[in-house]
Structure 1
Amino acid sequence: MVIDAHIHVQPWRQLRPGALDRISSGRSDLDLIRRLFDDPAAFLRFLDEQGIDRAVLVNYVSPDVIGFTDEVNEWIGNYCRGHEDRLVAVGGVHPRLTPDPAGAIQHIVERHRIRVLKLHPPHQHFFANAYRDGGNLPGLAALYERAQSLGVPVIVHTGTSIFPDARNKYGDPMTLDDVAVDFPRLTIIAAHGGRPLWMEPCFFLLRRHPNVHMDISGIPPRALLRYFPRLAEVAHKTLFGTDWPSPGVDSPRRNLEEFRALPLPPEAKEAILGGTAERIFARRS
Protein backbone atom coordinates (compact mmCIF):
# COMPACT_ATOMS: atom_id res chain seq x y z
CA MET A 1 0.00 0.00 0.00
CA VAL A 2 1.40 3.36 -1.08
CA ILE A 3 -0.35 6.49 0.15
CA ASP A 4 0.70 9.93 -1.01
CA ALA A 5 -0.24 11.82 2.14
CA HIS A 6 0.41 15.28 0.69
CA ILE A 7 -0.52 15.95 -2.92
CA HIS A 8 -2.26 19.02 -4.32
CA VAL A 9 -5.42 18.78 -6.40
CA GLN A 10 -6.94 22.25 -6.25
CA PRO A 11 -9.27 24.66 -8.07
CA TRP A 12 -6.73 25.93 -10.58
CA ARG A 13 -8.89 28.88 -11.63
CA GLN A 14 -8.77 30.40 -8.13
CA LEU A 15 -4.98 30.77 -8.10
CA ARG A 16 -3.65 34.31 -7.84
CA PRO A 17 -1.37 35.35 -10.72
CA GLY A 18 1.79 35.35 -8.58
CA ALA A 19 1.07 31.90 -7.20
CA LEU A 20 0.19 30.55 -10.65
CA ASP A 21 3.45 31.90 -12.07
CA ARG A 22 5.45 30.23 -9.30
CA ILE A 23 3.74 26.85 -9.79
CA SER A 24 3.95 27.03 -13.59
CA SER A 25 7.59 28.07 -13.86
CA GLY A 26 9.64 25.42 -15.64
CA ARG A 27 6.81 22.89 -15.97
CA SER A 28 5.99 21.19 -19.26
CA ASP A 29 2.92 19.32 -17.97
CA LEU A 30 0.51 22.19 -17.24
CA ASP A 31 -2.14 20.93 -19.66
CA LEU A 32 -2.05 17.52 -17.97
CA ILE A 33 -2.34 19.10 -14.52
CA ARG A 34 -5.37 21.14 -15.57
CA ARG A 35 -7.07 18.05 -17.03
CA LEU A 36 -6.44 16.05 -13.88
CA PHE A 37 -7.79 18.85 -11.68
CA ASP A 38 -11.00 18.86 -13.75
CA ASP A 39 -11.53 15.09 -13.94
CA PRO A 40 -11.34 12.81 -10.86
CA ALA A 41 -11.47 9.67 -13.01
CA ALA A 42 -8.46 10.86 -15.00
CA PHE A 43 -6.64 11.64 -11.76
CA LEU A 44 -7.27 8.12 -10.47
CA ARG A 45 -5.76 6.71 -13.66
CA PHE A 46 -2.79 9.03 -13.13
CA LEU A 47 -2.33 7.64 -9.61
CA ASP A 48 -2.32 4.11 -11.05
CA GLU A 49 0.38 5.11 -13.53
CA GLN A 50 2.43 6.67 -10.73
CA GLY A 51 2.19 3.63 -8.45
CA ILE A 52 0.03 5.39 -5.84
CA ASP A 53 -2.88 3.51 -4.22
CA ARG A 54 -4.44 6.37 -2.25
CA ALA A 55 -3.92 10.12 -2.09
CA VAL A 56 -4.57 12.83 0.48
CA LEU A 57 -5.65 15.91 -1.49
CA VAL A 58 -4.44 18.96 0.41
CA ASN A 59 -6.44 22.20 0.20
CA TYR A 60 -6.68 25.23 2.45
CA VAL A 61 -8.08 28.76 2.53
CA SER A 62 -5.65 31.55 1.61
CA PRO A 63 -7.31 34.24 -0.52
CA ASP A 64 -4.55 36.83 -0.12
CA VAL A 65 -1.51 34.61 -0.81
CA ILE A 66 -2.61 31.68 -2.99
CA GLY A 67 -6.13 32.70 -3.95
CA PHE A 68 -8.24 29.93 -2.44
CA THR A 69 -11.46 31.04 -0.75
CA ASP A 70 -13.83 29.09 1.51
CA GLU A 71 -15.29 27.63 -1.69
CA VAL A 72 -12.29 25.31 -1.88
CA ASN A 73 -13.99 23.07 0.70
CA GLU A 74 -17.05 22.45 -1.45
CA TRP A 75 -14.83 21.99 -4.51
CA ILE A 76 -12.62 19.29 -3.01
CA GLY A 77 -15.57 17.60 -1.30
CA ASN A 78 -17.30 17.26 -4.66
CA TYR A 79 -14.08 16.13 -6.35
CA CYS A 80 -13.63 13.24 -3.92
CA ARG A 81 -17.31 12.25 -3.79
CA GLY A 82 -17.73 8.63 -4.80
CA HIS A 83 -13.99 7.98 -4.61
CA GLU A 84 -13.50 8.11 -0.86
CA ASP A 85 -11.87 4.68 -0.89
CA ARG A 86 -8.87 6.23 -2.66
CA LEU A 87 -9.11 9.99 -2.17
CA VAL A 88 -9.04 11.86 1.15
CA ALA A 89 -10.54 15.37 1.06
CA VAL A 90 -8.51 17.97 2.97
CA GLY A 91 -10.00 21.41 3.54
CA GLY A 92 -9.77 24.14 6.09
CA VAL A 93 -10.69 27.50 7.51
CA HIS A 94 -8.74 30.74 7.77
CA PRO A 95 -8.12 31.37 11.49
CA ARG A 96 -7.72 35.13 11.08
CA LEU A 97 -10.70 35.67 8.78
CA THR A 98 -13.28 33.27 10.22
CA PRO A 99 -15.47 34.65 13.05
CA ASP A 100 -16.40 31.17 14.31
CA PRO A 101 -13.63 28.72 13.37
CA ALA A 102 -15.10 25.83 15.37
CA GLY A 103 -18.51 26.25 13.75
CA ALA A 104 -16.90 26.52 10.33
CA ILE A 105 -15.07 23.23 10.88
CA GLN A 106 -18.28 21.51 11.93
CA HIS A 107 -19.94 22.82 8.77
CA ILE A 108 -17.31 21.68 6.28
CA VAL A 109 -17.00 18.26 7.90
CA GLU A 110 -20.75 17.66 7.86
CA ARG A 111 -21.68 19.47 4.64
CA HIS A 112 -18.67 18.84 2.40
CA ARG A 113 -17.34 15.61 3.94
CA ILE A 114 -13.94 17.12 4.70
CA ARG A 115 -11.93 14.43 6.50
CA VAL A 116 -8.75 16.33 7.37
CA LEU A 117 -8.02 20.00 8.12
CA LYS A 118 -5.08 21.99 6.77
CA LEU A 119 -3.65 25.12 8.37
CA HIS A 120 -0.90 27.07 6.64
CA PRO A 121 0.63 29.60 9.05
CA PRO A 122 3.05 31.20 6.50
CA HIS A 123 0.18 31.69 4.02
CA GLN A 124 -2.45 32.61 6.62
CA HIS A 125 -0.10 34.77 8.71
CA PHE A 126 -0.54 33.41 12.22
CA PHE A 127 1.37 31.40 14.80
CA ALA A 128 -0.10 27.97 15.48
CA ASN A 129 -0.16 28.71 19.23
CA ALA A 130 -1.60 32.22 18.94
CA TYR A 131 -4.41 31.29 21.34
CA ARG A 132 -1.98 31.30 24.29
CA ASP A 133 -0.20 33.93 26.37
CA GLY A 134 -2.23 36.88 25.16
CA GLY A 135 -2.10 35.84 21.51
CA ASN A 136 -4.39 37.53 19.02
CA LEU A 137 -6.37 34.43 17.99
CA PRO A 138 -8.28 33.02 20.96
CA GLY A 139 -10.59 31.25 18.50
CA LEU A 140 -7.75 28.90 17.60
CA ALA A 141 -8.31 27.01 20.84
CA ALA A 142 -11.92 26.36 19.85
CA LEU A 143 -10.75 25.25 16.41
CA TYR A 144 -8.37 22.68 17.83
CA GLU A 145 -10.90 21.54 20.42
CA ARG A 146 -13.56 20.96 17.76
CA ALA A 147 -11.17 19.05 15.51
CA GLN A 148 -10.13 16.96 18.51
CA SER A 149 -13.73 16.18 19.45
CA LEU A 150 -14.60 15.25 15.85
CA GLY A 151 -11.54 13.04 15.49
CA VAL A 152 -10.36 15.07 12.51
CA PRO A 153 -6.57 15.20 11.97
CA VAL A 154 -4.96 18.59 11.42
CA ILE A 155 -2.11 19.12 8.96
CA VAL A 156 -0.03 22.20 9.77
CA HIS A 157 2.52 23.58 7.32
CA THR A 158 5.93 23.78 8.95
CA GLY A 159 9.03 25.25 7.37
CA THR A 160 9.43 27.87 4.69
CA SER A 161 7.46 28.82 1.59
CA ILE A 162 8.69 30.52 -1.59
CA PHE A 163 5.30 31.87 -2.67
CA PRO A 164 4.83 35.65 -2.91
CA ASP A 165 3.68 37.26 0.37
CA ALA A 166 4.42 34.16 2.46
CA ARG A 167 5.63 35.05 5.97
CA ASN A 168 8.11 32.39 6.98
CA LYS A 169 8.48 33.36 10.63
CA TYR A 170 5.15 31.57 11.15
CA GLY A 171 6.59 28.24 9.94
CA ASP A 172 8.48 27.32 13.13
CA PRO A 173 7.16 23.89 14.22
CA MET A 174 7.95 24.60 17.89
CA THR A 175 4.65 26.48 18.06
CA LEU A 176 3.04 23.03 17.83
CA ASP A 177 4.58 22.08 21.18
CA ASP A 178 1.84 24.07 22.93
CA VAL A 179 -0.88 22.62 20.70
CA ALA A 180 0.24 19.05 21.36
CA VAL A 181 0.26 19.63 25.12
CA ASP A 182 -3.06 21.46 25.26
CA PHE A 183 -4.92 19.08 22.92
CA PRO A 184 -3.44 15.62 23.59
CA ARG A 185 -6.12 13.73 21.62
CA LEU A 186 -5.68 15.88 18.50
CA THR A 187 -3.79 14.18 15.68
CA ILE A 188 -1.23 16.71 14.42
CA ILE A 189 0.78 16.32 11.22
CA ALA A 190 3.72 18.68 10.72
CA ALA A 191 3.80 19.01 6.95
CA HIS A 192 7.26 19.03 5.32
CA GLY A 193 9.05 18.19 8.56
CA GLY A 194 10.01 21.84 9.17
CA ARG A 195 12.10 21.96 6.00
CA PRO A 196 14.75 23.35 5.67
CA LEU A 197 15.33 25.45 8.80
CA TRP A 198 13.57 23.53 11.58
CA MET A 199 14.08 19.82 10.95
CA GLU A 200 15.75 19.10 14.29
CA PRO A 201 12.93 20.76 16.28
CA CYS A 202 10.40 18.76 14.26
CA PHE A 203 12.20 15.50 15.05
CA PHE A 204 12.16 16.49 18.73
CA LEU A 205 8.40 17.06 18.63
CA LEU A 206 7.79 13.63 17.11
CA ARG A 207 9.79 11.97 19.86
CA ARG A 208 8.22 14.02 22.64
CA HIS A 209 4.53 13.97 21.76
CA PRO A 210 2.47 10.84 20.98
CA ASN A 211 0.04 12.91 18.91
CA VAL A 212 2.57 14.66 16.63
CA HIS A 213 3.51 13.19 13.24
CA MET A 214 5.16 14.56 10.12
CA ASP A 215 4.96 14.13 6.40
CA ILE A 216 8.11 14.26 4.29
CA SER A 217 6.57 15.99 1.29
CA GLY A 218 8.60 18.71 -0.35
CA ILE A 219 11.89 17.17 0.82
CA PRO A 220 14.01 15.62 -1.97
CA PRO A 221 14.03 11.92 -1.03
CA ARG A 222 17.72 11.57 -1.83
CA ALA A 223 18.47 14.17 0.89
CA LEU A 224 16.04 12.76 3.43
CA LEU A 225 18.50 10.80 5.55
CA ARG A 226 20.89 13.72 5.61
CA TYR A 227 18.17 15.82 7.21
CA PHE A 228 16.71 13.00 9.34
CA PRO A 229 19.52 10.47 9.94
CA ARG A 230 17.40 8.73 12.61
CA LEU A 231 14.28 8.58 10.47
CA ALA A 232 13.77 4.86 11.11
CA GLU A 233 13.17 5.64 14.80
CA VAL A 234 10.06 7.66 13.92
CA ALA A 235 8.87 5.69 10.88
CA HIS A 236 5.63 4.86 12.72
CA LYS A 237 4.94 8.62 12.92
CA THR A 238 6.11 9.57 9.42
CA LEU A 239 4.06 9.77 6.22
CA PHE A 240 5.27 9.65 2.64
CA GLY A 241 4.12 12.59 0.53
CA THR A 242 5.25 14.23 -2.69
CA ASP A 243 3.77 17.76 -2.64
CA TRP A 244 3.13 17.33 -6.38
CA PRO A 245 2.78 19.53 -8.46
CA SER A 246 4.53 22.10 -6.28
CA PRO A 247 7.75 23.71 -7.57
CA GLY A 248 10.60 21.23 -7.84
CA VAL A 249 8.42 18.09 -7.85
CA ASP A 250 8.44 16.49 -11.31
CA SER A 251 6.25 13.48 -10.61
CA PRO A 252 5.03 11.32 -7.72
CA ARG A 253 6.65 8.26 -9.33
CA ARG A 254 10.13 9.79 -9.26
CA ASN A 255 9.79 10.66 -5.57
CA LEU A 256 8.50 7.17 -4.85
CA GLU A 257 11.39 5.49 -6.67
CA GLU A 258 13.96 7.66 -4.92
CA PHE A 259 12.42 6.94 -1.53
CA ARG A 260 12.40 3.19 -2.15
CA ALA A 261 16.12 3.37 -2.96
CA LEU A 262 17.00 4.72 0.50
CA PRO A 263 18.92 2.43 2.89
CA LEU A 264 16.09 2.06 5.39
CA PRO A 265 14.82 -1.15 7.01
CA PRO A 266 11.92 -2.73 5.08
CA GLU A 267 9.53 -2.27 8.01
CA ALA A 268 10.39 1.44 8.18
CA LYS A 269 9.72 1.89 4.47
CA GLU A 270 6.43 0.03 4.77
CA ALA A 271 5.28 2.26 7.63
CA ILE A 272 6.27 5.50 5.91
CA LEU A 273 4.88 4.55 2.50
CA GLY A 274 1.45 3.62 3.79
CA GLY A 275 1.12 2.08 7.23
CA THR A 276 1.22 5.31 9.21
CA ALA A 277 -1.13 7.12 6.84
CA GLU A 278 -3.54 4.19 6.70
CA ARG A 279 -3.87 4.33 10.47
CA ILE A 280 -4.31 8.12 10.64
CA PHE A 281 -6.66 8.53 7.68
CA ALA A 282 -8.83 5.49 8.32
CA ARG A 283 -12.21 6.22 6.79
CA ARG A 284 -14.88 7.23 9.26
CA SER A 285 -18.58 6.98 8.52
Structure 2
Amino acid sequence: MVDLSKVRAIDIHTHAEEPCGCHSDDGYDDLQSTMASYFGAPWSHPPTIHQTAQHYREQNIAAVIFPVDAERETGYRRYNNDEVYEAVSENSDVLIQFASIDPWKGKMAVREAKRLMREYGVKGFKFHPTMQGFFANDRMAYPFYEAIAEEGGIALFHTGQTGVGSGMPGGNGMRLKYSNPMYMDDVAVDFPELKIILAHPSFPWQEEALAVAQHKPNVYIDLSGWSPKYFPEILVKYCNSILKKKVLFGSDWPMITPERWLSDFEKIAIKDHLREDIIKGNAARLLGLA
Protein backbone atom coordinates (compact mmCIF):
# COMPACT_ATOMS: atom_id res chain seq x y z
CA MET A 1 0.00 0.00 0.00
CA VAL A 2 1.42 3.36 -1.00
CA ASP A 3 2.07 5.69 1.93
CA LEU A 4 1.35 9.18 0.61
CA SER A 5 3.49 10.77 3.28
CA LYS A 6 6.55 8.96 1.94
CA VAL A 7 6.32 9.77 -1.78
CA ARG A 8 6.89 13.11 -3.46
CA ALA A 9 4.74 12.40 -6.51
CA ILE A 10 2.36 9.93 -8.16
CA ASP A 11 3.05 9.02 -11.78
CA ILE A 12 -0.35 8.08 -13.22
CA HIS A 13 1.01 6.61 -16.47
CA THR A 14 3.71 3.91 -16.65
CA HIS A 15 3.97 0.77 -18.76
CA ALA A 16 4.60 -2.81 -17.70
CA GLU A 17 6.74 -4.81 -20.11
CA GLU A 18 7.16 -8.59 -20.24
CA PRO A 19 10.01 -9.78 -18.03
CA CYS A 20 12.20 -11.17 -20.79
CA GLY A 21 11.64 -8.23 -23.11
CA CYS A 22 11.93 -10.52 -26.13
CA HIS A 23 9.15 -10.82 -28.67
CA SER A 24 10.87 -12.24 -31.73
CA ASP A 25 7.73 -14.11 -32.71
CA ASP A 26 5.45 -11.09 -33.06
CA GLY A 27 7.48 -7.95 -33.85
CA TYR A 28 6.96 -6.19 -30.52
CA ASP A 29 10.70 -5.64 -30.05
CA ASP A 30 10.80 -3.65 -33.29
CA LEU A 31 8.03 -1.39 -32.05
CA GLN A 32 9.72 -0.88 -28.69
CA SER A 33 13.17 -0.17 -30.09
CA THR A 34 11.77 2.32 -32.60
CA MET A 35 9.89 4.11 -29.82
CA ALA A 36 12.98 4.12 -27.62
CA SER A 37 14.92 5.79 -30.42
CA TYR A 38 12.12 8.33 -30.94
CA PHE A 39 12.08 9.28 -27.26
CA GLY A 40 15.81 8.91 -26.63
CA ALA A 41 15.08 6.36 -23.89
CA PRO A 42 18.21 5.18 -22.02
CA TRP A 43 17.80 1.41 -22.25
CA SER A 44 18.50 -1.43 -24.68
CA HIS A 45 15.64 -3.64 -23.42
CA PRO A 46 12.55 -2.35 -21.61
CA PRO A 47 12.79 -2.65 -17.81
CA THR A 48 10.83 -5.30 -15.96
CA ILE A 49 8.17 -4.45 -13.38
CA HIS A 50 10.64 -5.17 -10.58
CA GLN A 51 13.24 -2.91 -12.19
CA THR A 52 10.58 -0.25 -12.62
CA ALA A 53 9.62 -0.50 -8.95
CA GLN A 54 13.23 -0.15 -7.87
CA HIS A 55 13.69 2.93 -10.03
CA TYR A 56 10.57 4.57 -8.61
CA ARG A 57 11.57 3.61 -5.08
CA GLU A 58 14.91 5.33 -5.58
CA GLN A 59 13.11 8.40 -6.91
CA ASN A 60 10.61 8.39 -4.01
CA ILE A 61 7.69 8.32 -6.47
CA ALA A 62 4.62 6.07 -6.65
CA ALA A 63 3.38 4.86 -10.03
CA VAL A 64 0.26 3.51 -11.68
CA ILE A 65 1.42 0.71 -13.98
CA PHE A 66 -0.33 -1.28 -16.71
CA PRO A 67 0.31 -3.43 -19.79
CA VAL A 68 -1.44 -2.86 -23.14
CA ASP A 69 -3.55 -5.69 -24.56
CA ALA A 70 -3.96 -5.13 -28.31
CA GLU A 71 -3.75 -8.73 -29.50
CA ARG A 72 -6.53 -8.58 -32.11
CA GLU A 73 -5.28 -5.53 -33.98
CA THR A 74 -1.51 -5.92 -33.66
CA GLY A 75 -0.87 -9.63 -33.14
CA TYR A 76 1.41 -8.76 -30.19
CA ARG A 77 0.86 -11.22 -27.38
CA ARG A 78 -0.23 -9.53 -24.20
CA TYR A 79 1.40 -9.42 -20.79
CA ASN A 80 -1.16 -11.32 -18.73
CA ASN A 81 -2.87 -9.17 -16.10
CA ASP A 82 -2.52 -11.89 -13.47
CA GLU A 83 1.24 -12.00 -13.98
CA VAL A 84 1.34 -8.22 -13.71
CA TYR A 85 -0.56 -8.46 -10.43
CA GLU A 86 1.96 -10.93 -8.99
CA ALA A 87 4.85 -8.57 -9.70
CA VAL A 88 2.99 -5.43 -8.62
CA SER A 89 1.84 -7.03 -5.35
CA GLU A 90 5.49 -7.60 -4.44
CA ASN A 91 6.14 -3.89 -4.93
CA SER A 92 2.94 -2.38 -3.59
CA ASP A 93 4.84 0.27 -1.62
CA VAL A 94 5.38 2.15 -4.91
CA LEU A 95 3.23 0.48 -7.59
CA ILE A 96 -0.54 0.65 -8.18
CA GLN A 97 -2.01 -1.72 -10.76
CA PHE A 98 -4.25 -0.84 -13.64
CA ALA A 99 -5.02 -3.60 -16.14
CA SER A 100 -5.60 -3.79 -19.88
CA ILE A 101 -8.01 -5.99 -21.81
CA ASP A 102 -8.62 -5.68 -25.53
CA PRO A 103 -12.23 -4.44 -25.74
CA TRP A 104 -12.76 -6.60 -28.83
CA LYS A 105 -12.79 -9.60 -26.48
CA GLY A 106 -16.40 -8.72 -25.63
CA LYS A 107 -17.95 -10.83 -22.88
CA MET A 108 -14.54 -12.29 -22.06
CA ALA A 109 -13.30 -8.76 -21.38
CA VAL A 110 -16.23 -8.03 -19.07
CA ARG A 111 -15.72 -11.23 -17.09
CA GLU A 112 -12.00 -10.65 -16.71
CA ALA A 113 -12.47 -7.01 -15.73
CA LYS A 114 -14.95 -7.88 -12.97
CA ARG A 115 -12.66 -10.61 -11.65
CA LEU A 116 -9.60 -8.35 -11.58
CA MET A 117 -11.42 -5.58 -9.75
CA ARG A 118 -13.09 -7.88 -7.23
CA GLU A 119 -10.23 -10.30 -6.56
CA TYR A 120 -7.19 -8.06 -6.95
CA GLY A 121 -8.57 -4.61 -6.27
CA VAL A 122 -7.51 -3.32 -9.69
CA LYS A 123 -8.45 0.35 -9.80
CA GLY A 124 -8.58 1.02 -13.53
CA PHE A 125 -8.05 -0.06 -17.12
CA LYS A 126 -5.87 1.28 -19.92
CA PHE A 127 -7.42 1.62 -23.39
CA HIS A 128 -5.29 2.38 -26.44
CA PRO A 129 -7.69 3.06 -29.34
CA THR A 130 -4.84 3.53 -31.84
CA MET A 131 -3.27 0.16 -31.02
CA GLN A 132 -6.54 -1.65 -30.33
CA GLY A 133 -8.22 -0.34 -33.49
CA PHE A 134 -11.51 1.04 -32.20
CA PHE A 135 -13.33 4.30 -31.61
CA ALA A 136 -13.96 4.83 -27.89
CA ASN A 137 -17.68 5.38 -28.52
CA ASP A 138 -18.09 2.06 -30.34
CA ARG A 139 -21.01 0.32 -28.63
CA MET A 140 -19.17 -2.97 -28.63
CA ALA A 141 -17.07 -1.59 -25.73
CA TYR A 142 -20.00 -0.32 -23.68
CA PRO A 143 -20.58 -3.48 -21.57
CA PHE A 144 -16.90 -3.25 -20.60
CA TYR A 145 -17.26 0.40 -19.54
CA GLU A 146 -20.41 -0.48 -17.63
CA ALA A 147 -18.54 -3.15 -15.67
CA ILE A 148 -15.77 -0.69 -14.78
CA ALA A 149 -18.26 1.99 -13.75
CA GLU A 150 -20.22 -0.43 -11.56
CA GLU A 151 -17.08 -1.22 -9.58
CA GLY A 152 -16.08 2.44 -9.26
CA GLY A 153 -13.08 2.04 -11.55
CA ILE A 154 -11.20 4.33 -13.90
CA ALA A 155 -10.89 4.19 -17.70
CA LEU A 156 -7.64 5.66 -19.01
CA PHE A 157 -7.63 6.33 -22.76
CA HIS A 158 -4.60 7.01 -24.94
CA THR A 159 -5.24 10.17 -26.97
CA GLY A 160 -3.42 11.95 -29.76
CA GLN A 161 -0.11 11.07 -31.36
CA THR A 162 2.75 10.48 -28.94
CA GLY A 163 5.26 8.50 -30.96
CA VAL A 164 3.96 4.92 -30.92
CA GLY A 165 4.56 3.53 -34.42
CA SER A 166 6.10 6.82 -35.56
CA GLY A 167 8.51 6.35 -38.47
CA MET A 168 7.62 2.70 -39.04
CA PRO A 169 6.18 1.67 -42.44
CA GLY A 170 2.54 2.75 -42.47
CA GLY A 171 2.94 3.88 -38.86
CA ASN A 172 3.04 0.17 -38.02
CA GLY A 173 -0.57 -0.05 -39.20
CA MET A 174 -1.81 2.27 -36.46
CA ARG A 175 -4.53 4.76 -37.35
CA LEU A 176 -4.39 8.05 -35.47
CA LYS A 177 -8.07 8.83 -36.02
CA TYR A 178 -9.13 6.41 -33.30
CA SER A 179 -7.50 8.50 -30.57
CA ASN A 180 -9.28 11.81 -31.06
CA PRO A 181 -10.47 12.68 -27.52
CA MET A 182 -13.85 13.83 -28.82
CA TYR A 183 -14.87 10.16 -29.08
CA MET A 184 -14.34 9.87 -25.33
CA ASP A 185 -16.86 12.69 -24.86
CA ASP A 186 -19.63 10.27 -25.85
CA VAL A 187 -18.37 7.81 -23.24
CA ALA A 188 -18.40 10.56 -20.60
CA VAL A 189 -22.02 11.37 -21.50
CA ASP A 190 -23.22 7.77 -21.56
CA PHE A 191 -21.33 6.79 -18.37
CA PRO A 192 -21.40 9.89 -16.15
CA GLU A 193 -20.23 7.90 -13.11
CA LEU A 194 -17.21 6.47 -14.93
CA LYS A 195 -13.98 8.27 -14.09
CA ILE A 196 -12.11 8.91 -17.35
CA ILE A 197 -8.52 10.00 -17.92
CA LEU A 198 -7.49 11.39 -21.31
CA ALA A 199 -3.83 10.42 -21.54
CA HIS A 200 -1.18 12.73 -22.99
CA PRO A 201 -1.23 16.19 -24.50
CA SER A 202 -3.64 15.26 -27.29
CA PHE A 203 -1.76 16.45 -30.37
CA PRO A 204 -3.26 17.49 -32.77
CA TRP A 205 -6.51 17.65 -30.77
CA GLN A 206 -5.37 19.51 -27.66
CA GLU A 207 -8.28 21.94 -27.56
CA GLU A 208 -10.79 19.11 -27.97
CA ALA A 209 -9.30 17.35 -24.93
CA LEU A 210 -9.39 20.53 -22.85
CA ALA A 211 -13.00 21.14 -23.86
CA VAL A 212 -14.09 17.63 -22.89
CA ALA A 213 -12.28 17.76 -19.52
CA GLN A 214 -13.73 21.18 -18.74
CA HIS A 215 -17.26 20.24 -19.77
CA LYS A 216 -17.53 16.79 -18.19
CA PRO A 217 -17.03 16.50 -14.40
CA ASN A 218 -15.85 12.89 -14.70
CA VAL A 219 -13.01 13.57 -17.16
CA TYR A 220 -9.36 14.24 -16.28
CA ILE A 221 -6.18 14.74 -18.32
CA ASP A 222 -2.79 13.15 -17.70
CA LEU A 223 0.30 14.96 -18.95
CA SER A 224 2.37 11.95 -19.97
CA GLY A 225 4.20 11.15 -23.18
CA TRP A 226 5.65 14.64 -23.66
CA SER A 227 8.35 16.54 -21.85
CA PRO A 228 6.63 19.54 -20.21
CA LYS A 229 8.96 21.87 -22.10
CA TYR A 230 6.97 21.01 -25.24
CA PHE A 231 3.52 21.61 -23.73
CA PRO A 232 1.41 23.99 -25.85
CA GLU A 233 0.67 27.34 -24.25
CA ILE A 234 -3.05 26.64 -23.99
CA LEU A 235 -2.43 23.46 -21.98
CA VAL A 236 -0.27 25.35 -19.47
CA LYS A 237 -2.95 28.04 -19.25
CA TYR A 238 -5.64 25.48 -18.39
CA CYS A 239 -3.36 23.74 -15.87
CA ASN A 240 -3.05 27.09 -14.13
CA SER A 241 -6.75 27.81 -14.11
CA ILE A 242 -9.99 25.90 -14.69
CA LEU A 243 -8.41 22.42 -14.90
CA LYS A 244 -6.00 22.84 -11.99
CA LYS A 245 -7.74 20.03 -10.05
CA LYS A 246 -8.10 17.74 -13.09
CA VAL A 247 -4.59 17.49 -14.55
CA LEU A 248 -2.27 14.68 -13.48
CA PHE A 249 1.46 14.02 -13.64
CA GLY A 250 2.34 11.11 -15.90
CA SER A 251 5.67 10.23 -17.49
CA ASP A 252 4.98 7.40 -19.98
CA TRP A 253 7.80 5.34 -18.47
CA PRO A 254 9.91 3.65 -19.74
CA MET A 255 10.04 6.06 -22.70
CA ILE A 256 10.33 9.11 -20.44
CA THR A 257 11.76 8.86 -16.92
CA PRO A 258 9.83 10.50 -14.09
CA GLU A 259 12.85 12.48 -12.96
CA ARG A 260 13.32 13.94 -16.45
CA TRP A 261 9.62 14.89 -16.60
CA LEU A 262 9.64 16.48 -13.14
CA SER A 263 12.83 18.38 -13.87
CA ASP A 264 11.33 19.84 -17.04
CA PHE A 265 8.07 20.57 -15.22
CA GLU A 266 9.96 22.77 -12.77
CA LYS A 267 11.01 24.99 -15.67
CA ILE A 268 7.57 25.81 -17.09
CA ALA A 269 5.20 28.55 -15.98
CA ILE A 270 3.01 26.65 -13.53
CA LYS A 271 1.88 28.56 -10.44
CA ASP A 272 3.89 27.38 -7.46
CA HIS A 273 0.87 26.68 -5.26
CA LEU A 274 -0.57 24.31 -7.90
CA ARG A 275 2.49 22.13 -8.43
CA GLU A 276 1.86 19.80 -5.47
CA ASP A 277 -1.65 18.98 -6.65
CA ILE A 278 -0.56 18.36 -10.25
CA ILE A 279 2.25 15.99 -9.35
CA LYS A 280 0.54 14.25 -6.42
CA GLY A 281 -2.66 15.55 -4.86
CA ASN A 282 -5.02 15.31 -7.82
CA ALA A 283 -4.01 11.71 -8.51
CA ALA A 284 -4.23 10.76 -4.85
CA ARG A 285 -7.84 11.97 -4.69
CA LEU A 286 -8.81 10.33 -7.99
CA LEU A 287 -7.31 7.00 -6.90
CA GLY A 288 -9.04 7.16 -3.53
CA LEU A 289 -5.75 7.38 -1.62
CA ALA A 290 -6.53 10.70 0.04
Q: TM-score range by the shorter chain?
A: 0.7 to 0.9
2:223 equivalent in structure 1: 216
TM-score of the superposed pair, with normalisation by structure 2: 0.84
The separation in 2 between residues aligned to 1:200 and 1:13, in whole angstroms, is 38
2:174 equivalent in structure 1: 166
Establish whether residue 141 from structure 1 lines up as the match of residue 142 from structure 2.
Answer: yes
CA deviation string 1:108-148 (max 9, x = no partner): 223454321011100000000011xxxxx2xx221111111
Establish whether residue 241 from structure 1 lines up as the match of residue 250 from structure 2.
Answer: yes
Q: 3-state SS of the aligned residue for 1:96?
A: helix
TM-score of the superposed pair, with normalisation by structure 1: 0.85
In structure 2, the gaps of 5 or more residues are 1-7, 166-171
Establish whether residue 55 from structure 1 lines up as the match of residue 67 from structure 2.
Answer: no
Q: Give, in angstroms, the shift of residue 60 of structure 1.
A: 2.1
Q: 3-state SS of the aligned residue for 2:105?
A: coil
- The counterpart of 1:77, out of the listed 82, 85, 88, is 85
CA deviation string 1:143-190 (max 9, x = no partner): 111111101111011112532221111010001111111111110000
1:19 equivalent in structure 2: 31
The separation in 1 between residues aligned to 2:122 and 2:218, in whole angstroms, is 20
Q: 3-state SS of the aligned residue for 1:193?
A: coil
- The counterpart of 1:269, out of the listed 242, 259, 275, is 275
Q: Give, in angstroms, the shift of residue 52 of structure 1.
A: 4.1
CA deviation string 1:60-89 (max 9, x = no partner): 2112437242x4211211111143342111
The separation in 1 between residues aligned to 2:190 and 2:121, in whole angstroms, is 26
Percent identity of equivalent pairs: 26
- Between 182-191 and 14-23, the greater mean CA deviation after superposition: 14-23
Report how many residues are paired.
266
The separation in 2 between residues aligned to 1:6 and 1:145, in whole angstroms, is 23
CA deviation string 1:219-269 (max 9, x = no partner): 2211225251332121210110111222xx3x3211111102222112321
In structure 1, the gaps of 5 or more residues are 132-136
1:21 is aligned with what amino acid? S
Mapping 1:1-285, distance limit 5 Å: 1-11=8-18, 12-14=21-23, 16-25=28-37, 27-30=41-44, 33-34=46-47, 37=48, 40=50, 42-49=51-58, 51-63=59-71, 64-65=73-74, 67-69=76-78, 71-131=79-139, 137=140, 140-160=141-161, 161-163=163-165, 164-194=172-202, 196-228=203-235, 229-233=237-241, 234-246=243-255, 249=256, 251-282=257-288
Q: 3-state SS of the aligned residue for 1:76?
A: helix
1:117 is aligned with what amino acid? F
Q: Is contact 1:117–1:153 with CA below 8 Å preserved after alignment?
A: yes
Q: CA 1:159–1:60 in 2, change beyond 3 Å: closer, same or farther?
A: same
Q: CA 1:110–1:68 in 2, change beyond 3 Å: closer, same or farther?
A: farther
Q: CA 1:68–1:267 in 2, change beyond 3 Å: closer, same or farther?
A: farther
2:4 equivalent in structure 1: none
The separation in 1 between residues aligned to 2:244 and 2:77, in whole angstroms, is 33
2:44 is aligned with what amino acid? L
2:169 equivalent in structure 1: none
The separation in 2 between residues aligned to 1:5 and 1:244, in whole angstroms, is 10
Q: CA 1:7–1:122 in 2, change beyond 3 Å: closer, same or farther?
A: same
